[in-house]
Amino acid sequence: MFSYRHAFHAGNHADVLKHTTLIAIAQYLVQKDTPLSVIDTHAGAGLYRLDGDFAQTSGEAMEGIARMLSADPATLAPALQTYLAMVQSFNPGAHLRTYPGSPALLLQVLRPQDKLRLFELMPQDARALLGNAEQLLEGRQAQVLMEDGFANAKKFLPPPDRRGLLLCDPSYEMKTDYAKVATFIDDSLRRFATGCYAVWYPIIGRQEAHDLPKRLKSLAAKAGKNWLHATLTVKSGKLQTLADGSVKRPGLPASGMCIINPPFTLHAALEAALPQMVALMGQDKNAGFTLESTGR
């Protein structure tokens, strides 16, 4: 089983890719006056303490967001500047103590007329999300639903104003999640073909992980929609044999974002940001990125 409990991994390289992309999409979509409906199918707790037991155990934020924040903001791509400024807004002072998850970052972008629906099935995370959302609302319309996002998000599609963004990023702890994502996006496109769909996935040694972006691109093509696919690799995914004969697992080496109906500005934004992510977070010679989109 592949385990991805987010409290352990908050602020890692996968979050940097996912949240930089998510913010760039949301900021583009709120430029129109028409209300925007946003759905997060696996919202998590919303905010994460980087000085807590979970995050300190993994230390992944030190190889992710901490490295990004060590750079001179003036040298970074605009999408990264915006993302890092938002993270810093949750950390007054010099110390990095809190990492904002997708719900917290989305609430920084959305306007009072927009709606945010947050699905979280795990009781512990859902309770934390409820408390964190109350602190972050500030007049915005947000709803926390302790339900299965795969099964229940569809009741909000299509949104009344026909403008929507959906983020789908399950833990993929069960390999059946990959098929669930593809089925869910297929059904969502049938209900709301003009929505923007952002899917995060881990890149690991599992055939389902390699097949998922192919399936999503195929669904987009079948629906006659544009797509964008970005991946970020920070290190080798191979097992390491240590001097004492023990085997060290590498942790998550890479992840990807597949967007259906992406903003036309997204490719250029990530084209500038991805090389800088590699330069700052790459850990060995295997570090790199890919970026492809319809028509490119």
On whether 114 is known to bind a ligand per the annotation, the reply is no
- CA–CA distance, 290 with 131 (Å, rounded to integer): 38
Per-residue pLDDT of the chain (296 residues; tens, 9 = 90+): 334 456 678 999 999 999 999 999 999 999 999 999 999 999 999 899 888 654 444 579 999 999 999 999 999 999 999 999 999 999 987 789 999 999 999 999 999 999 999 999 988 888 888 877 776 665 568 889 999 999 999 999 999 999 999 999 999 988 999 999 999 999 999 999 999 999 999 999 899 999 999 999 999 999 999 999 999 999 998 876 666 666 667 789 999 999 999 999 999 999 999 999 999 999 999 999 999 999 77
Question: What token pair was written down for 164?
Answer: 């929507």
Domain of 240, CATH number, reads: 3.40.50.150
Q: Reduce the DSSP state of residue 247 to 3 states and report it.
A: strand
On whether 267 is known to bind a ligand per the annotation, the reply is no
On whether 125 is known to bind a ligand per the annotation, the reply is no
- CA–CA distance, 6 with 295 (Å, rounded to integer): 34
Closest C-alpha among 95, 84, 103 to residue 281: 84
Report pLDDT for 238: 82
- Going 178 to 181 to 184 to 190, the CA torsion angle's sign is negative
On whether 211 is known to bind a ligand per the annotation, the reply is no
- For 222, other C-beta atoms within 10 Å of its C-beta total 10
Element (H, E) at 277: helix 266-281
- CA–CA distance, 181 with 280 (Å, rounded to integer): 31
| Residue 4 falls in which region: left (phi positive, over 0), alpha (psi -120 to 50) or beta | beta
On whether 42 is known to bind a ligand per the annotation, the reply is yes
Question: What token pair was written down for 241?
Answer: 């044999």
Domain range holding 108? 6-293
Q: Is residue 179 part of a domain?
A: yes
Q: Is residue 142 part of a domain?
A: yes
The number of domains in the chain is 1
Q: Is residue 1 part of a domain?
A: no
Element (H, E) at 86: helix 78-89
On whether 210 is known to bind a ligand per the annotation, the reply is no
Question: What token pair was written down for 231?
Answer: 């991946």
CB 14 within 8 A of CB 202: yes
Catalytic residue ranges: 169
Q: Is residue 151 part of a domain?
A: yes
Q: Is residue 30 part of a domain?
A: yes
Residue with tokens 């979050």: 15
Supply the pTM of this predicted model: 0.93
Q: Is residue 110 part of a domain?
A: yes
Question: What token pair was written down for 60?
Answer: 């992944």
Report pLDDT for 165: 98
